[in-house]
Structure 1
């Protein structure tokens, strides 16, 4: 039986790994998919041998604390590769771990594919050369990054962004509001504080305090907190004890909830792109350990943090970074969107242009077809040998 191994190191790559696995299984039942991942990949039918809850971190300084766990997990995965010898290794994002793993796999003669490659167009551009050397194929998700990897000598495929296949609300607004006991005539304020505990600690208190002040100005808004799969209720409940209002707390159904939001307060990351694809106005918040932030300022030469703004090449949604991510600034910006429909319409038009730049639907199925084809070729080659 053909064997594909997937490696995901945090929530968003677990999601994309799950989507990819489902498409591969839809193309061939005679396939075994193993790997490192989370619950999304498990539900998709992947034989998840290694978890990642002890590895996920954000920022340079934060990552340092994860190094011992990372090296131990790398040794475990390499041992599994040596024993199982899959036809293809597919790594998803998570570059500090996956580039090392790709080098080792390449030296073992295992075909490696990078899906959702690291943001070499943002910083550390030399990684593109390393990836081109050790990975047989790089499946890019942005057209501009495909050019960067091509120029580095990589064999590149670009089919569009996989999110376009997945961002589909499953129900009408009235049904969603009814299920959540929301007034369909009121405005929903979405709160998405991130997928890592560090983000929750830094951003959620600001978002909650700002929401309390906004409720005094706009009593019709209904706050809904949407948790990432990697965050449990217990991670956020202590922060809710000190607020005077009762937000709805949800896990899952992110697209349904985003689709009914008038505005979202959102941590920088993949969720901002999801909101952009749904045309939801947002305020992006970003806070890091100060040393991480200062190091990043030295290394990253790009004017924006949020993916919608990076893709647009201009600020189409407001970003509040570090000290600017304050309660007062959130309230001031949110008040503009809550008072002025014209401001929302302008943002929605710009977000529609961002979505167009992501390419066409069907990217995940095309990526799955390419990966399966490479696995089949290696499998048949192995039989002949």
Structure 2
């Protein structure tokens, strides 16, 4: 039986998840599956051409959401129109809560016969638990990343399959830290700080100045400190332009070399996100920071019930990784913690070891998430056809 599947991803991380899932489905079904959708470069590599550039949907905070409302509304309509024209058997909506929940409702209206599957649910155990019921009314099935997700959505009546986080299964066997240092002209024993400012334009705008000042402070303490900065694909030009004005040399790192850079670094300073799990897989101690606009933060803070932002800390129920959020995300506060990890090798090793232990709690070593997600999608499709 042949299937047409629509994948909708509005951010870089979702683009990767969608592309991985599509690759597994294609390997299993061959010519019996075709794809359409909305996504980024990874999906485009598979021939899934997006009707618009998803980078314009990288929105953070309530204020940005209000400003972008008209654009989001138009892109939801564009996505629903694509679904109506292509008439897929299933629509898989990946992450990006605000955009995908609106898209799910719009597609349900124009194409009620399609199975709607959400891949990555909102973190209702951290804030706004009512979103579980909202999602249950909008889609037919959820592919969740963590075991703690399932009970919340199942109680709301939404069938849920826990597939795990793909970040736990990244293959870093070919990531060579020593080779990275050699290629960048960094001595094997030179202290190296890797900065990962994020993949959204607003993250770069807010966090890069903080990281620049932090690096300045650290170089005043450690003159031979080397600094490398990852320029993620969607914001590479912006990051490159900003780093070019720094008063010291920073080695720019592309997406292809980021895992090698993680392994080469003594410490990573990163903007909160899935990347924290990847850094832990690389075995490198890290410090996490994050902030949105102050108005949005003040509105959202009373709704947040979780003690931590970083998934490693949430899984461990302790601050394994120091995180500096919002008003604490300043160079003055971040510098001492990064300096401690750069200069106290015993503390750095202890944190890296604890990060690795938490990965086991999160499900490292289990089945491949894309394979489990493909199993669940095919089961939904077969049940739908029956």
TM-score, length basis structure 2 = 0.92
Q: Residue 186 of structure 1 contacts residue 220 of structure 1 at CA under 8 Å; is this kept in 2?
A: yes
**SS class of match (2:8):** strand
Q: Is the 8 A contact 1:209 1:243 kept in 2?
A: no
CA deviations on 1:294-341 (whole Å, 9 max, x unpaired) are: 011121122212222122211111111223222122221111101111
Q: CA separation in 2, counterparts of 1:345 and 1:166?
A: 21
CA distance in 2, matches of 1:257, 1:169: 13
- Residue matched to 1:261: 265
Question: Which residue number in structure 2 is paired with residue 365 of structure 1?
Answer: 371
Unpaired runs of 5+ residues, structure 2, are none
Match in the other structure for 2:251:
248
Find the partner of 2:96 among 75, 80, 94: 94
Task: Give per-residue Cα distances to partners, 1:230-276, cap 9 Å, x unaligned.
Answer: 1022x134433543211011221222211222111111111122112
- The Cα shift of 1:376 comes to 5.2
Backbone CA RMSD of aligned residues:
1.9
State the alpha-carbon separation in 2 of the partners of residues 167 and 124 from structure 1: 34
Match of 2:25 in 1: 24
Answer whether contact 1:163 1:274 (CA < 8 A) is retained.
yes
Instruction: Give 1:135-146 correspondences, 5 Å limit.
Output: 135-146=139-150
Deviations 1:198-243 (A, max 9, x none): 111111111112112212322333211002221022x134433543
SS in 1 for 2:25: helix
- 3-state DSSP of counterpart to 1:154: coil
Note the C-alpha offset of 1:377. 5.5
Asked whether the 8 Å contact 2:94–2:118 carries over to 1, the reply is yes
CA distance in 2: counterparts of 1:164 and 1:75, whole angstroms: 35
2:38 to 36, 43, 49: 36
Secondary structure, counterpart of 2:266 in structure 1 = strand
- Is contact 1:169-1:255 (8 Å) kept? no
SS of the aligned residue for 1:54 comes to: helix
Deviations 1:82-130 (A, max 9, x none): 1211011000111112112223334422101111111122222111112
2:71 — aligned with what? Answer: 69
- 1:164-203 equivalent positions in 2, closer than 5 A: 164-203=168-207
Match of 2:53 in 1: 51
- 2:8 matched to 1:2? no
- Tell me, in whole angstroms, the C-alpha distance in 2 between the residues paired with 1:324 and 1:164: 28
Aligned to 1:236: 239
CA contact (8 A) 1:167 1:277 kept: no
Cα distance between partner residues in 1 of 2:134 and 2:325: 31
Query: How many corresponding residue pairs?
Result: 379
Change (3 A) 1:80 1:243: closer
Q: CA deviation at 1:11?
A: 1.2
**Greater relative CO, 1 or 2 (CA 8 Å, sep 6+):** 1
Equivalent of 2:284, from 280, 283, 302? 280
Shift in Å, 1:50:
3.5
Matches for 1:212-223 after TM superposition, within 5 Å: 212-223=216-227
Q: Is the 8 A contact 1:169 1:256 kept in 2?
A: no
**SS at 1:209's partner residue?**
helix
Name the SS for the 2:233 alignment partner: coil
Determine whether 1:353 maps to 2:354. Answer: no
Answer yes or no: is the 8 Å Cα contact 1:3–1:375 preserved in 2: no
The answer as to 2:164 corresponding to 1:160 is yes
How far did 1:16 drift? 1.2
Most deviating of 128-137 and 328-337:
128-137
Match of 2:308 in 1: 304
CA contact (8 A) 1:277 1:355 kept: yes
How far, CA to CA, are the matches of 2:85 and 2:373 in structure 1?
A: 26
Is 1:167–1:278's contact at 8 Å kept on the other side of the alignment? no
Instruction: Report the secondary structure of 1:114's partner residue.
Output: strand
Aligned to 1:117: 121
Specify the alignment match of 1:14 in structure 2.
15
Verify the 8 A CA contact 1:169 1:259 in the aligned structure 2: no
